[in-house]
Structure 1
Amino acid sequence: MRELAAHEVAVTPSQLESWRRVGLLPRHRRRGLGRGRGSVVDAVDPLVVEGAAALARHLRQGRDRRLAVLGWFAEAGTPPVRPGACRVPEPPVAAVREALVWALQRSASQRLVEFARSAAGAGEEGQDTLYAAAGRLMGPYRGAANPALVRAALEAGGDVPAEAEGPDFRSMVHVAAAIGLGAQEVGADALAEAFAAFGMFGLTAEDWAQMLGAAERGEGPEVDWGLLQQNADIVAQVQRASDEELVRAREVLVGLRMFYALYMLHGLLLPDTPAQAALRQRIDDWGMFPALDHVIAINPSPRQFAESLTVCLEPPFDNLYETLMKQLAEDPHIFSIPGDDTSPAGFGETWLRTLRELTNPGRAVGGGADNGSGRSG
């Protein structure tokens, strides 16, 4: 208890005992004192203390313990903020899997899949009901505006153009309908609109419609819609994944969060560097920014973390992460402005100066550095 008090968390003995009973914390080793004299703890295991402290940080009044486990798992995969600080130990993977399944079963995504499957065979009435329910569950979410176009508008002192607006993800309802009613019932044009909104691989709705239409007519490669059915059930995905795959998905999610943040901050006049431009180019080459925007949250809730981690089990996100990590290894100087010897301190000062200039009418905004392509954006 003294060690936990040093972590500035309040934990009662009964809480510790309940966490041990459900397998979240191991017991300290005890040494017997002899017949009839009981036992004593010789030394407190620091890993047990760190684990208990992490669990206590994420367990608030009224919050289900499984959400706290997800928060602990997320924290354990994040590098310490303070230099020299110990990394948070891992929670038991069995408890993480249980918490993921519990959270995903209650997610809007899973409820939508289950609703879609229940609508199968219900005719037009069932289809209308499905689309109405999907609209309520998905909401009116739009993707983020294109950061490069936002930056250009800010630097020019003009308005953000309409073409910078992010995709409307409401068309993803067609994917949900295909899961429940079948792809043939939904049609190639509607599915093409949905896939284009998600933005993967940079394909337009016309590109998708051409490919899906050719497949329908038997003029192109056949589409395996079974993969859509299989991957739609996010609970089953987590249940199928190995312990190692869950940990890897967290690594991918944490890494992509960093790259996504850099991409987004470009729109907020973060000083540009050749290393940053190369990373953005990799993301653009894959056409993955809309997909990242749909999946990544910088400060996710445990429920958001659970859904995002499940998506990162998929090969496209894992492969993108590997590509970006290789690019970062080739040029790690993402915060080094060419010709500025004061970085990273100079980098931060340049950014703050640029943001201050933005609020001063009549002053040019000059946050970009030449990235070797003749552009500052």
Structure 2
Amino acid sequence: MDAVDPVVVESAAVLGRHLRQGRDRRLAVLEWFAEAGMPVRPGAVPVPEPAICAVRRALVWVLERSVSQRLVELARSAVGAGEEGQDALYAAAGRVLRAYRGAANPALVRAALEAGEDVPVDAEGDFRSMVHLVAAVGLGGQEVGSDALAEAFAAFGMFGLTVDDWAQMLGAAERGEGPPVDWGQLQQHADLVGQVQRAGEEELVRARTVMIGLRGFYGLYMLHGLLLPDTPALAALRQRIDEWSMFPVLDHVISINPSPRQFAESLAVCLEPPFDKLYEVLMEQLATNPDIFSIPGDDTGPVGFGETWIRTLREQTKATSGEFGQAGTAGEAFA
């Protein structure tokens, strides 16, 4: 036993945690890759990295079967298919996007809870209009039109711009009065499979770091709506996200407890530079003020922070007669 490489032993252990009868090994590889990127607890043995070639194969296998990729392929197949093909594309994309309901803005949820009012359930953006963005991937922006795309970009929450803001910019580009739009970039970035295939080993590992980091920041932003004590450090992190108008985008692409399939899609998205840059901005802010769980004037630190949160939740439960699970409560708002 002394001659056995510890890396081999730990690799066998991590496979044992994620493999089970009847499960595709590629899903276990993705869970292994995700676990290897998590922070190591004091005294724990670091999880060795799986072979990156196996990770890439698993990512591609999952992404090729994802709803996102199927929509991209359907959009491409609509090119030259006439009105019938375009109608089929819009119908299929509409069915997928209609099922998505984003989270209500945590600040609005918190304000409603503190005021004893019903919390908002639906997100502000209408993601059904994003069907136009899917169509643009295959048909091109010129075919879809600037007005429809303005609705799609505004629904996605990009840069905090309104429908009118987008309509003015896209309309000016369409008329040749402003900088041209390279719709080929949209088509390229929508192809998650291609992005993973082109990415190097360091890029995939970096995307994992970005995704795991943004998952934590997104979780803190969401918990603000569930009455998490609002320290200056937490408020500063939310402000950075708001400055980038990225909450709706993070809400769309980040999962708190992702399945291997969700992990694959989120990691592919986090290969994009804007997510890497946002992660860097938030990490810099965290380094500037790391006391996210310290309430000013309370020298008990994280312990007092946790006790304050629990007490607040109990008081809120009493104020609502213990009906936290009823329609219109915070839990439903974040479903």
TM-score range, shorter chain: over 0.9
Aligned mates of 1:321, 1:254 — CA distance in 2: 10
The yes-or-no answer on 1:255 pairing with 2:213 is yes
State the match for 2:28 in structure 1. Answer: 68
Aligned mates of 1:144, 1:166 — CA distance in 2: 9
Contact 2:104 2:120 in 1 (8 A): no
Q: Describe the shift of the 1:360–1:65 C-alpha distance in structure 2 as closer, same or farther (beyond 3 A).
A: same
State the match for 1:354 in structure 2. Answer: 312
Which 4+ runs in 1 deviate beyond 6 A? none
State the match for 1:135 in structure 2. Answer: 94
The yes-or-no answer on 1:285 pairing with 2:243 is yes
State the match for 1:51 in structure 2. Answer: 11
State the match for 2:84 in structure 1. Answer: 125
The yes-or-no answer on 1:216 pairing with 2:174 is yes
Aligned mates of 2:4, 2:276 — CA distance in 1: 39
Letter in structure 1 aligned against 2:23: R
Q: Secondary structure at the match of 2:179?
A: coil
Aligned mates of 2:301, 2:246 — CA distance in 1: 30
Letter in structure 2 aligned against 1:69: V
Q: Secondary structure at the match of 1:258?
A: helix
Q: Describe the shift of the 1:312–1:362 C-alpha distance in structure 2 as closer, same or farther (beyond 3 A).
A: closer
Pick which of 238-247 and 60-69 moved more. 60-69
Letter in structure 1 aligned against 2:106: P
Aligned mates of 1:211, 1:362 — CA distance in 2: 47
Letter in structure 2 aligned against 1:92: A
Q: Equivalent of 2:196, from 229, 238, 252?
A: 238
Task: Provide Cα deviations, 1:46-84, integer angstroms capped at 9, x if missing partner.
Answer: 11111111122111222110010000000100113x432
Q: Shift in Å at residue 189 of structure 1?
A: 0.9
Higher relative contact order (CA 8 A, sep 6+): 2
The yes-or-no answer on 1:339 pairing with 2:297 is yes
User: CA-atom RMSD, angstroms?
Assistant: 1.5
Total equivalences in the alignment? 321
State the match for 1:38 in structure 2. Answer: none
User: Structure 1: which 5+ residue stretches go unaligned?
Assistant: 1-40, 364-377
Q: Secondary structure at the match of 1:57?
A: helix
The yes-or-no answer on 1:154 pairing with 2:113 is yes
Contact 1:142 1:166 in 2 (8 A): no
Q: Equivalent of 1:97, from 56, 62, 66?
A: 56
Please say which structure displays the higher CA radius of gyration.
Answer: 1
Contact 1:73 1:90 in 2 (8 A): yes
State the match for 1:173 in structure 2. Answer: 131
User: Structure 2: which 5+ residue stretches go unaligned?
Assistant: 322-335
Q: Equivalent of 1:83, from 15, 22, 42?
A: 42
Q: Equivalent of 1:266, from 212, 224, 233?
A: 224
Q: Secondary structure at the match of 2:125?
A: coil
State the match for 1:325 in structure 2. Answer: 283
Aligned mates of 1:332, 1:273 — CA distance in 2: 11
Aligned mates of 2:298, 2:260 — CA distance in 1: 40
Contact 1:141 1:169 in 2 (8 A): yes
More helix by share: 2
State the match for 1:31 in structure 2. Answer: none
Contact 1:112 1:176 in 2 (8 A): yes
